[in-house]
Amino acid sequence: MKSLQGKTAWITGGSSGIGRACALSLWEAGATVVVSARSQPAIATLAAECGNERIIALPLDVADRAAVEAAGRHLQERVGAIDILVNAAGINVVNRRMAKLTPADWDQVIDINLNGAFYCMHAVLPGMREQGEGTIINISSWAGRFASSLTGAAYGASKHAMAAMTMSVAMEECANGIRACAIYPGETATPILVNRPVPPSEEDLARMLQAEDVAAAVDFVIALPMRATVNELVISPTWNRAFLGFQPPPKRT
């Protein structure tokens, strides 16, 4: 990872999982990191782990449009333009099949996964345009690239839409020096998996991608010179249950 000294990165969903791993990795690379999540204690703990230096804990519900707009104005005044935005905030619900999916659950997933990412991009793009460069990375999902019955209609719709939105930003903003990348992680051992109807076993979790693996993919995208953009990046566990039909692996003899 190249040095990010002098750069400012904003990470949403930074209280746990992929967002937290990205925040730590970019901080270790020298960036000033703004970490946002709904859980104030969790991001305060993360900031304390970093010695409260070059890290700003900014509690935020990305589904709250007015709150995101206010956060954008606050950051512009405090740190100036954001150089790197990583939209990692995301949720799913337990009752995700259409027979049980409620309109309220649908709205919650779309509001956080899709609308929240848009609100944050909308907040940082003016500053990126003004300075003539910036990098936006949206953490989509394997389910945003390939249809999956496992993740349900709301989550799949939100992540497919996030991918399309990311490509729109890349097309419209490339002339302004702004890069946009959608990353599609396969199964990753993060807290969101506890909301599955049947949570994975500890053995299965150990075989999945880990949050730091996805953070390494984010680092790769950022490390390229600004003349180069990774538009899409698919990363999956080698033991990929999407390929195996979600069957347990054969026992070794």
On whether residue 248 sits in a domain, the answer given is no
Q: Which amino acid is at 11?
A: I
On whether residue 246 sits in a domain, the answer given is no
pTM here is 0.92
Phi and psi, residue 137, nearest 5°: -125, 120
Please identify every residue annotated as catalytic: 155
At 153, which CATH number?
Answer: 3.40.50.720
What is the tens place of the pLDDT at every residue in 50-102?
999 999 999 999 999 999 999 999 999 999 999 999 999 999 999 999 999 99
**Residue ranges making up the domain that contains 174:** 8-238
What are the C-alpha distances in Å from 250 to residues 111, 149, 244? 40, 23, 11
On whether residue 250 sits in a domain, the answer given is no
On whether residue 253 sits in a domain, the answer given is no
Total domains in the chain come to 1
What is the tens place of the pLDDT at every residue in 108-165?
999 999 999 999 999 999 999 999 999 999 999 999 999 888 899 999 999 999 999 9
On whether residue 251 sits in a domain, the answer given is no
Q: pLDDT class for 2, splitting at 50, 70, 90?
A: confident
Q: What pLDDT was estimated at residue 1? A: 65
What is the tens place of the pLDDT at every residue in 194-220?
777 788 889 989 999 999 999 999 999
**Lookup: tokens for 145:** 């690239």
From 81-85, 190-194, 227-231, 245-249, the region with the lowest mean pLDDT:
245-249
Q: Compute the radius of gyration of the chain from its Cα atoms.
A: 18
Q: What pLDDT was estimated at residue 114? A: 98
On whether residue 3 sits in a domain, the answer given is no
The closest alpha carbon to 14, from 58, 80, 66, 52, belongs to 58
Nearest 5°: CA angle at 213, between 116 and 18? 25
On whether residue 77 sits in a domain, the answer given is yes
What is the tens place of the pLDDT at every residue in 233-246?
999 999 998 888 76
**Lookup: tokens for 228:** 């180069």
